[in-house]
Amino acid sequence: MPVFQIDDFEMHYLDQGGPEGPALLLIHGFPFDSSMWEPQISALRDKYRVIAPDLRGHGASSAPEGVYSMELLAEDLRRLLDHLKTKRVILGGLSMGSYIAFAFYRKYAELVRALILADTRPQADTPEGQKAREDLAQLATNEGSRAVAERLLPRLLTEPTREHNNLVVRWVNYMIQNTSIQGLVGALRGMAQRADSTDLLPQISVPTLILVGERDILTPPADAQRMAELIPGARLEIIPEAGHLSNLENPQEFNRILREFLDSLPKP
């Protein structure tokens, strides 16, 4: 993977596909890394330049101390795009990746050609949600990433996937356990303090695709429906037989819808 130095950490990233194709920047969720996008990269790199970074503290990227606010992570991405001399991108994120996409769009809307928001919600955490994130941060600190994986897995993947798709289960387990403790804690505390983005939604003026697993219990279809109602012209698609990681649980349907959306965009 190429490496880009940003102040106090090294960002590793994937950059695949034709350099002349439209640029698609995919932001992974918590607590994963760029490899979660492999099914999408394989399906799209024939026509699109797909850029997928490991966020600070995740995957192969180094893990500086501190809270990883969504604004800080968005700024990391802006600096990566500058490094790659990429002026405008189609911006996509899943879960925390979309929280970062909201922060990026709020500051750098002129750099965004279109948005892809998967398995996410615009609201800030409630006090109960903030406490749950801090409890998970303490679990990570005291018991390590394996304990975090055991806590999260039943909420990330549907029961059929957990019982019958060992490849995806092992993949998700590996990504979580490969995330540094500082990465886990920094991202959790950053998500807990993130701003509410509901007010941003009516201001979004680029083509927007919203995807959600029909069995997503963390950010359910009702949240996606409310987003679609607030973003002008947004397209909502529900992915069958999928939970929170809809791009991994049903990649065929996810990719079909994603490709159709991307191919429908005006030429840059």
Query: Helix, strand, or coil here: 217?
Result: coil
Contact 228, 236 (CB under 8 A): yes
Model confidence at 141: pLDDT above 90: yes
Percent of the chain with pLDDT over 90: 96
pLDDT tens by residue, 51-75:
999 999 999 999 999 999 999 999 9
The pLDDT score that the predictor gives to residue 150 is 97
pLDDT value of residue 115: 98
Residue 129: what pLDDT?
97
Candidate from 7-11, 132-136, 172-176 with smallest mean pLDDT? 7-11
Supply the mean pLDDT for the chain.
Answer: 97
pLDDT bucket at 21, cuts 50 / 70 / 90: confident
- The strand ranges marked E within the chain are 3-6, 9-16, 23-27, 49-53, 89-94, 112-118, 208-213, 235-239
- The total domain count for the chain is 1
Strand partners, 213: 239
pLDDT value, residue 18: 80
Q: Is the pLDDT of residue 145 over 90?
A: yes
Q: Which residue is associated with the tokens 């932001």?
A: 27
Summarised one tens digit per residue, pLDDT across range 198-250 is 999 999 999 999 999 999 999 999 999 999 999 999 999 999 999 999 999 99
Using the 8-state DSSP alphabet, how is residue 28 labeled? -
Percent of the chain's residues with pLDDT above 70: 100
Kindly report, residue by residue over 161-192, the tens digit of the pLDDT.
999 999 999 999 999 999 999 999 999 999 99
Q: Where is average pLDDT lowest: 1-10, 110-119, 145-154?
A: 1-10
- CATH number of the structural domain spanning residue 253: 3.40.50.1820
Per-residue confidence (pLDDT) for residue 186, from 0 to 100 = 98
Q: Which domain holds residue 226?
A: 3-264
Complete DSSP assignment for 66-121 = S---HHHHHHHHHHHHHHTT---EEEEEETHHHHHHHHHHHHHGGGEEEEEEES--
Q: Is the pLDDT of residue 78 over 80?
A: yes
- Whether the per-residue pLDDT at 19 is higher than 80: the answer is no
Q: Is the pLDDT of residue 42 over 90?
A: yes
What pLDDT sits at residue 72?
98
Asked whether the predicted pLDDT for residue 268 surpasses 90, the reply is no
| Confidence tier at 10 by pLDDT (50, 70, 90) | very high
